[in-house]
Structure 1
């Protein structure tokens, strides 16, 4: 396996799970979902890991809940920003 297969940001998993929990994948197209996830992830600190199992083992219940809450809050902010600004494609087309 390569480095890129072994290492990932744990918040990516949490944001994806929150998207599914809120059923946002049924409300938005893939382009808007990508914008939403990138906007949410850019608000969160990176938490790089090699294995989700290791992360679950080393996290306290309190820390895991805090991370899940941060991911949910970041998605809410991202939804608000995107609704104000529009999608990335719309934003790029706006004259400045």
Structure 2
């Protein structure tokens, strides 16, 4: 639970299930997250080995995040949480 037990970590990981995303697009997928919290959360996920960050040497800077194999191992859990949430809000 320490690895994914915050408000934003499961959401960020869920959005990365379908592949790498640029930093700006990933953040836009969760409009409620602040810049500070986004940065803090992706750093923690990277430190814990759940995502990788790739920085491209271009102007403007391009940063992509992607799940590691360890992060991909959470797919069944994340998809189950998504299914449960969708069912819960329809009740």
Verify same fold: TM over 0.5: no
Greater strand share, structure number:
2
Return the TM-score normalized by structure 1: 0.29
RCO higher in structure (CA 8 A, sep ≥6): 1
Larger Rg: 1
Return the TM-score normalized by structure 2: 0.30
